[in-house]
Every structure is written in C-alpha cells, then in structure tokens.
Amino acid sequence: MGNDLAVSVKGLRKAYGRTVAVESLDLDVRRGEVFALLGPNGAGKTTTVEILEGYRKRDGGEVTVLDHDPAQPTAEWRARVGIVLQGTGEFEELTVGELVHHFAAFYPKPDDPDEVIARVGLSDKAKARTVGLSGGQKRRLDVALGIVGHPELLFLDEPTTGFDPEARREFWQLIRELNAAGTTIMLTTHYLDEAEALAQRVGVIAGGRLVEVAEPSRLGNRQSAPATVSWRTPDGSVESTASDTPTALVTELAARFGGEVPGLTVTRPTLEDVYLRMIGAGS
C-alpha cells in the first residue's frame, strides 16, 4: 500500500546484555514532517535511530522505514535514506568540493554537488581542504554529504551541538528549506528550543520507552495547563495564583487596582518545564 508513514515502529526492543536500551517502543514518522526525538542521556535515542538507519539489529518488534525493513538493507533503499554523520575525519586532505562530488557518485540520482555546497552555505569554501574548516563549517559539510544523494528521509543526530547561536539559526533555516522541498526529517536533540523551532511533532523517550508524542505546543497538555498569574500587592509583596481563567483574573485585578496591575506576569509551563516533568527530573 502507498504509505503515508516514512517510519513505522511497533513494539521495538533492544538490549545490550542485561541493559535494556529500548522496550515496547511504538513510533510513527509521517512523510513530509520534521519529527524530533527528545530524551536524556542514555534514553535510547541513538539505539532507536541506528536501528531505523539499518546500522543496528533489533531484538524484537516491527520496523518499516520507507516501506522497507531496515534489518535487510538494500543499496536501493540506502540511497533513499540520508544520514548526517558526526564528522568525516578520514577525508581531511580533500577539498569540500572534491568530497561532495565524491559522495554524489555513490548515488543513482544525486543533486548537483555544487548546488548542495551552495545550499549549506559553503560555496566560498569549496576549494578549501576540509581539515581547515571550523566546527560549524564541518557540520555543514556533514549535512551536504547527507543530502547530496537527494534522500526522501534524512536522519540528523544532535545536529547543532557545539554551534554558536547564529550558526544554529542558519542551520535551522537549512532544515526548513529541505523540509519545504519535501524531505522528511527525523532528528534527535537535547535542545528543547530546537525541537520547538523545527518539529511538527516531538517524541519524548525516557528509559527506553516513548513517554509522549505531541506537537511541541501541546506536549504535556501545555496549552491547557493552568496559567500562573503574579502581581505586586500594595504592601510590596508578590502574590501568585494558578488559574484556569487567567483573563478573568487579570480583568478582576485591573478593576481592583483601577487600571495597571503592578508587576503583572502571566506564564504557562515552558516546554522545558513539561519535558523535565515527563522524564522525572522536574522539581
């Protein structure tokens, strides 16, 4: 059947000896979406993603990636899946241009390597040896190598770790452009703002199990969680109340104060608040 899921996982299990890394994991990634997998260190993200990429064997469960079982990878299937690896140090003597052209040759229908280099913002470094690139530039090169084969599905493992704020913003823009051009993207990240900025849906994994999948704004019922309304009382102390109807409360406060409410703030739980609660680390 023509499938609208790029990734389908049911009851995935993987153990390393006595360490159960992933247990009873169900997960879907829809074609065309950016899906972010969030979770603390050791949660099972890399294990899961490497099983999906066809680089680790699972112990149990059903897994389909682009209508194919990744435990039986074929060259044709691999060409449809892009993987952004962390660093390709063994090619340090090659230039950026040489390396991207070299990788393009592995694929049946690659994109134009020079266009890919431009898309990741490395045109002015095309003739530079990769050994001399900065950390952020190396990461862009990793992305170029991951996308030059024109993948339908792209895996990114912690793509912006070590980036400065400007490089992160530029990288996010690149991911959005790839996604707008039709690439399905699955990324793992420790950055909640990154998941919120990029992903249509976020999966939170903890202790090898999927705790929740939701749009970032809906995670942990964030939107409908009570708001905390705070204000300063006439004696100078700060009063705080959790309220399901903050607008009504603010209106009442405005009437009580005859206009401006001193020190007024209205907040809802941040993505970080609900995330920390989910993984059992909240205060």
Whether the CB-CB separation of 233 and 53 falls below 8 Å is answered with no
Residue selected from 8, 24, 46, 228 as contacting ligand ATP according to rule CB under 6 A: 46
Residue selected from 39, 82, 149, 269 as contacting ligand ATP according to rule CB under 6 A: 39
Q: Find tokens 């809906």 and name the residue.
A: 218
Q: Does 84 bind ligand ATP (CB under 6 A)?
A: no
CA distances from 279 to 38, 185, 209, 246 (A): 10, 24, 10, 28
Nearer to ligand ATP, 131 or 281 (CB): 281
Q: How far is the CB of 204 from ligand ATP (least distance, A)?
A: 11
Q: How far apart are CA 155 and CA 185, in angstroms?
A: 6
Q: Does 280 bind ligand ATP (CB under 6 A)?
A: no
Q: Give the pair of three-digit tokens for residue 249.
A: 């409360």
Q: How far apart are CA 140 and CA 143, in angstroms?
A: 5
Q: Does 16 bind ligand ATP (CB under 6 A)?
A: yes
Q: Give the pair of three-digit tokens for residue 214.
A: 């939701």
Nearer to ligand ATP, 39 or 149 (CB): 39
- How many C-beta atoms surround the C-beta of residue 217 within 10 A? 11
Q: Which parts of 231-250 interact with ligand ATP (CB under 6 A)?
A: none
Q: How far is the CB of 29 from ligand ATP (least distance, A)?
A: 17
Nearest 5 degrees, angle CA 18-CA 24-CA 27?
Answer: 130
Q: Does 41 bind ligand ATP (CB under 6 A)?
A: yes
Q: How far apart are CA 178 and CA 81, in angstroms?
A: 14
Nearer to ligand ATP, 15 or 266 (CB): 15
Whether the CB-CB separation of 204 and 279 falls below 8 Å is answered with yes
Nearer to ligand ATP, 39 or 136 (CB): 39
Q: Does 113 bind ligand ATP (CB under 6 A)?
A: no
Residue selected from 3, 10, 11, 42 as contacting ligand ATP according to rule CB under 6 A: 42
Q: Does 44 bind ligand ATP (CB under 6 A)?
A: yes
Question: Applying CB under 6 A, which residues contact ligand ATP?
Answer: 16, 19, 21, 39, 41-47
